[in-house]
Amino acid sequence: MERSVNEELAEVLKNNKVGYLTLSQLKGELPASLRNRLKVTKSTTGAQIGKALQDHMGGALMQKGKYIALKQTDESLLLCVMRKNNWKFPAMNNVPFKKDEFFNVLNQLLEKDAIRVKKVNKERKIILFAPVGEPSPQPSSPNPEKEFKAAYEALERGKGYVRIYEIRRHLRWSVQDFDRMLIRFRDAGKIQLLSSATDTFTKEDISDSFIDDRGLNKYLIMWSQ
């Protein structure tokens, strides 16, 4: 059975390791079979590729301006950008974010201690960042799993579930450490990660939720055991 264009594009981005490419860069990464399906030739522009991909977005993919990326939170995407740029402050024309959006997400990562400032020059401009060290997922407890369960119980209040953004903010762990623990509990069968209506969610609530390894948005945690 032939794979969908969406699945093949996701495979291209995964093999690229960085997880995002400009539309022009993508043209050079497409396998011949996919170029033929999308009718991409040497003369096809990035804008034309973007138009050809419009019907194949969603699933594990998202498009941000002239970039296509594996679907993830803005915070995760910015971490990918910083990692690719060796943690140096990137040029604004080389990131899949508008300028205001970039600084908003950067500030969120700094506030959550997902990254730290490493070097400032004499003009007081930040020129180098560093990822926060591994793993230290617990800011206040020698047992992070117990702390996670306690946070869940404190927020559950008889509903039978907790919104992911609520427990993320309650614990105040780094993005990586929280997501790692979420995946650990899920894979152990201790919790279920569920989708939900988001009519009452703010943009920040959605950003502080979770996207699984299939590119699906998850908003609720339900304890299974």
pLDDT band for position 2 (cuts 50, 70, 90): low
Token pair, residue 95, equals: 């990131």
Tens of pLDDT, residues 105-126: 999 888 887 888 888 887 778 8
pLDDT, tens digit (0-9, with 9 covering 90-100), for 125-172: 887 887 775 443 444 556 888 889 999 999 998 889 999 999 988 887
pLDDT, tens digit (0-9, with 9 covering 90-100), for 16-72: 767 788 888 888 888 888 888 888 888 888 888 888 888 888 777 888 888 888 888
The ranges assigned to domains in the chain are 5-70, 74-131, 144-223
Look at residue 135 in the predicted model and tell me its pLDDT. Answer: 40
Helical ranges in the chain per DSSP H:
5-16, 23-29, 32-38, 46-53, 74-84, 99-111, 144-156, 164-171, 175-187, 203-207
Does the global pTM surpass 0.75?
Answer: no
Please give the Cα distance from 103 to 31 (Å, whole number): 35
Q: With a cut of 90, say whether residue 222 has pLDDT above it.
A: yes
Mind listing the pLDDT tens digit for each residue in 63-73?
888 888 888 88
What is the reported pLDDT for 141? 56
Contact 222, 194 (CB under 8 A): yes
Q: Which of 123, 125, 57, 127 is nearest to 85 (CA)?
A: 127
pLDDT on residue 81: 86
Summarize pLDDT for 181-216 with one digit per residue, the tens: 888 899 889 999 999 898 898 877 888 888 877 778
pLDDT of 163 reads 94
- Per-residue pLDDT at 127: 78
pLDDT of 113: 79
Q: Which pLDDT value is given to residue 225?
A: 65
94, pLDDT greater than 80: yes
pLDDT of residue 84 exceeding 50, the answer is yes
CA 5/CA 157 separation, integer angstroms: 43
Check whether 6 has a pLDDT greater than 50.
Answer: yes
